[in-house]
Amino acid sequence: MFSKRTMYFLGLIGVAAGIYYLATLDNRTERRLRYRGRRWLNTARSSMSRIGNMYRAGRNMMDERMEMMRH
């Protein structure tokens, strides 16, 4: 199965998708909810990008460590 980190990442993606769906709902919902959803979406997107940057940096560090081990 997935590792805990992968499950956490998938959960974040699912939450962001749900918030995005809420933010893009049509006139059926009131404007206040849509505004709140958009604000949630912005915070979720910034946190996702932050997590992505952390993940990328960690992977680069791991690659460097592997290279050092090989030499």
* The pLDDT of residue 38: 74
| Domains identified in the chain, total number | 1
HEC states along the chain? CCCHHHHHHHHHHHHHHHHHHHHCCCCCCCHHHHHHHHHHHHHHHHHHHHHHHHHHHHHHHHHHHHHHHHC
State which residues form the domain around 21: 4-70
Q: What is the pLDDT of residue 32?
A: 62
To 10 degrees, what angle do helices 4-23 and 31-70 make? 150
Does 2 have pLDDT greater than 80? no
CA dist 47 and 21 (Å) reads 18
pLDDT, tens digit, for every residue of 15-56?
Answer: 888 877 766 665 555 666 666 667 777 787 787 788 788 888
Please report the pLDDT score of residue 13 as a whole number.
87
